[in-house]
Structure 1
């Protein structure tokens, strides 16, 4: 379930909150992964081209499957902002590289009270990762560009940035109930990556 290898999946399955919530709801109804795939594709539940759905669905499904019952309830029954934080947590939990970005770049900036986020921050992160990892070093420039864009969009969706061109980094306050639950299940590192 949890990626231990670096992935470019976020280029095709960014925040996707609407789709994520929809899949969580189908899981709650007791559908298997196969049934969810069939239903989503046949009924065009993501309201997009089938090729886009086929590309993003495995990642969204994987993301939804890492949630325990309590987290699924938060998605379906709590205010949107908290549900979005659960989605963001699930993205980090299933995407090692994005978690490392949050942990090494965003968390560090918030802890140091350095609330200016510039393009060089993400560029340095990817440069260091590609120097340390053969797999990332083999990714094309266009893949890296799309991935950086996806990461920045995730920051925007979660409220760290007001707009994509903004350089003001806004610290995130994780919902108390969510924080307590994540700490209780041993996932405090994700809370720290989100809050700094």
Structure 2
């Protein structure tokens, strides 16, 4: 279920560790209510405030709902690269801005054999989206800045971008999608996401 609207991503951008922990519990047959109790009351995520625990849990639950159990299994049992890229796939499904950033900036540069992204590239992309989209135009400056920053941070956390000097510049790093995730995506007719993962 691919989202076709923009979502403000102001916190909990990648949270791989927390997503994996919940996927492992689901894989073991633990119920959502039991997971909620472990996160909120027993501090499974090791987050101090109750508000932080709730926010992180809501993000993870939203990410894992309506997902085929094969992706839960990949997150629960896969090696690090499989977990990282499965998590990226789940985020891509719900994040139109992230999909467009990859398509319009990263893939466009790779086509031209350019392997770096600079602050001007990112500023132009986000400002153009803000001008074109009534949804993004309505965001406060703070929400806009945090969402832009977190959108880039997702790509860094996933390993598709690597920070280089000078500050604010990134190297684009196409990584082969591990076989198990690649097969599952092809089986489910999700080839689009292989392209968005720079495969």
Fold shared, TM-score > 0.5 on shorter chain = yes
Q: Which residue does the alignment assign to 2:11?
A: 12
Q: Which residue does the alignment assign to 1:194?
A: 197
1:185 matched to 2:193? The reply is no
Give the superposition deviation at 1:155. 1.9
Query: Do the aligned partners of 1:110 and 1:171 also contact (CA within 8 Å) in 2?
Result: no
Q: Which residue does the alignment assign to 1:110?
A: 110
Matches within 5 A, 1:30-179: 30-48=29-47, 49-163=49-163, 165=167, 166-179=169-182
Higher helix proportion: 1
Moved more, 68-77 or 164-173: 164-173
Higher strand proportion: 2
Cα 1:97–1:161 shift into 2, 3 Å:
closer
CA distance in 2, matches of 1:55, 1:39: 14
CA distance in 1, matches of 2:68, 2:99: 19
Give the superposition deviation at 1:90. 0.5
Query: Do the aligned partners of 2:163 and 2:171 also contact (CA within 8 Å) in 1?
Result: no
- The size of the alignment, in residue pairs, is 195
CA distance in 2, matches of 1:53, 1:106: 33
Deviation per CA, 1:67-102: give whole Å up to 9, x if none: 322222211222111111000110101222222222
Moved more, 167-176 or 183-192: 167-176
Moved more, 44-53 or 15-24: 44-53
Cα 1:6–1:33 shift into 2, 3 Å:
farther
TM-score, structure 1 normalization: 0.89
Q: Which residue does the alignment assign to 1:28?
A: 27
Runs of 4+ in 1 over 6 A off after TM superposition: none
Cα 1:27–1:2 shift into 2, 3 Å:
farther
CA distance in 1, matches of 2:122, 2:147: 10
TM-score, structure 2 normalization: 0.88
CA distance in 2, matches of 1:55, 1:72: 20
Cα 1:182–1:38 shift into 2, 3 Å:
same
Moved more, 77-86 or 116-125: 116-125
